[in-house]
Structure formats: C-alpha cells, structure tokens
C-alpha cells in the first residue's frame, strides 16, 4: 500500500536527510536546455523543487522570474541560505496541485512527477496545462524505468505517459535523454511538451 504522500511525509524525509534523489547540482540535460534559452524574462515554475539547484543556476544566469514550490519549507530554506538574494516572494511553500493565481511560460520537471502518487499523474498533466500561458512549455525528465510500485520513486514508460499528456500537450521532444547524469543514463526521457489550446 502506498503511504499518504502529504506534507508531513515529505517534511520528515527532509528533516531525516532521506533525500536519495538529490544530485547536488543542476542536472546536465536541464543545464544544457537552460543554456540555449535567450529570453531571461520568461516566468518559470519548478514544482516539487527540493533543493532547487536548477533555480539557483537560472537565477545566477540572470533569469528574474523563477518560482519554486515544495510542500516542505526545509529545502526552500536551504536555497535561501545558498542564494540569499533569490526573491523570497518566489519561494512558495505549498501544494503544486492547488497552486492558482499565477501563470508561467515554462514548467520544469525533475524527479517530482515520479514522487507523487501515480493516481495523481493525470492531474499533474491537467494542472501543468492550467498553469501555463498560451504556447507555454513543460520541459524536463521523466523516468523510463519500472522503479517502485509502493513508494516513491514510482516508475513508468512512454506508453503510459502518452495517456496523461497527449490530451493537453503537443509533444515536441519525447525521447531518451542523450546527456543524462551517469546513474540515470538510458533510464530517463527528455520531454519538451507545448501547451495545446
Ligand atoms: C523526489 S523529490 C525531488 C526534488 C527535486 N526536484 C530534485 O530533483 O532534487 C520530490 C519533492 O517534491 C516535493 N513534493 C511532493 N509532493 C508535492 C506537491 N504536491 N507539491 C509540491 N511539492 C511536492 C517533496 O517535498 C520533495 O521535495
């Protein structure tokens, strides 16, 4: 049985340092994606951000509108310690699924989708679509591996993911990532999905 993956569950994991997913820096596929973006004014959301190395990287490159959200405030405090001038009003402690009143041009995925109860996957696609501006993009990495069925990280594959995302997005890139970090090589898909109207 899957435990309830609520704030308490995640906050305790942060307090106990049970953060095996944390790679200690921006991942190569996302770094390389960010490096070719030219418009630094775009509004970006990183949901289930954890220590948010991607937000740190983007901020240091001059992206001004990077927002991050996590159920636990522990990793948000870590980011603020590492990057004191990261705008405090862009640090959102809360639930991605109930986030409203904000909209974004880009949503970044990395080991958040695999952390939620698989029953919420359809909702993840719907909520991402809702939070994106016209032509907005969902970009990042999804595991293409079986992983666990009773606790995170939960696995999945292309066929399964198509069901969730095709109703809401045009698939611009949906392929095995060629520049994954070593432990994730050939185990993750790079996605670049564009919002359908
Ligand atoms: C597996 S970790 C990944 C963290 C980060 N993306 C990384 O790659 O290092 C998943 C994160 O999502 C957060 N989380 C889980 N459910 C959430 C939700 N519904 N809304 C916002 N954050 C959530 C957890 O607190 C945790 O920090």
Q: Tell me the per-residue pLDDT of 14-47, one tens digit each, with 9 for 90 and over.
A: 999 999 999 999 999 999 999 999 999 999 999 9
Tell me whether the omega of the peptide bond preceding residue 158 falls within 30 degrees of 0, making it cis.
no
Q: What is the mean pLDDT of the chain?
A: 97
Looking at the structure of the chain, the number of domains it has is 2
188 and 141 both lie in a single domain: yes
79 and 141 both lie in a single domain: no
Last residue of a domain, one of 94, 123, 158: 94
* Shortest-distance atom of ligand 1 to CA 52: 5
Question: What pLDDT is attached to residue 113?
Answer: 98
128 and 178 both lie in a single domain: yes
In a domain, 32, yes or no: no
Q: Does any ligand 1 atom lie closer than 6 A to the CB of residue 110?
A: yes
* Shortest-distance atom of ligand 1 to CA 152: 1
146 and 191 both lie in a single domain: yes
User: Which is nearest to 116 in space by CA: 130, 129, 102, 127?
Assistant: 127
From ligand 1's centre to the CA of 24, what distance in Å? 15
Question: What pLDDT is attached to residue 19?
Answer: 97
Q: How far is Cα 36 from Cα 53, in angstroms, rounded to an integer?
A: 18
Question: Which amino acid residue places its CA nearest to atom 4 of ligand 1?
Answer: 50
Q: Which domain holds residue 89?
A: 46-94
> What pTM value is reported for the model?
0.98
22 CB contacts (<8 Å, ≥6 apart)? 50, 51
Model confidence at 146, pLDDT cuts 50, 70, 90, reads very high
Which tens digit of pLDDT belongs to each residue from 157-177?
999 999 999 999 999 999 999
Question: What pLDDT is attached to residue 24?
Answer: 97
Q: Does any ligand 1 atom lie closer than 6 A to the CB of residue 9?
A: no
Question: What pLDDT is attached to residue 175?
Answer: 98
């Amino acid at each position: 049985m899957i435990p309830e993956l609520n704030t308490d569950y995640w906050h305790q994991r942060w307090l106990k340092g049970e953060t095996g997913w944390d790679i200690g820096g921006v991942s190569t596929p996302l770094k390389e994606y960010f490096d070719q973006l030219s418009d630094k004014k775009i509004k970006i959301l990183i949901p289930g951000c954890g220590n948010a190395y991607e937000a740190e990287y983007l901020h240091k490159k001059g992206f001004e509108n990077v927002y991050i959200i996590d159920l636990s405030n522990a990793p948000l405090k870590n980011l603020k310690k590492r990057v004191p001038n990261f705008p405090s009003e862009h640090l959102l402690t809360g639930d991605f699924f109930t986030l409203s009143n904000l909209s974004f041009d880009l949503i970044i995925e990395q080991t958040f989708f695999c952390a939620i109860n698989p029953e919420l996957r359809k909702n993840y696609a719907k909520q991402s679509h809702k939070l994106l501006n016209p032509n907005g993009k969902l970009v990042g990495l999804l595991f293409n591996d079986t992983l666990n069925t009773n606790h995170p990280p939960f696995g999945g594959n292309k066929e399964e993911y198509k069901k969730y995302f095709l109703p809401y997005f045009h698939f611009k890139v949906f392929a095995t990532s060629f520049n994954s970090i070593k432990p994730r090589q050939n185990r993750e898909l790079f996605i670049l999905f564009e919002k359908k109207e």
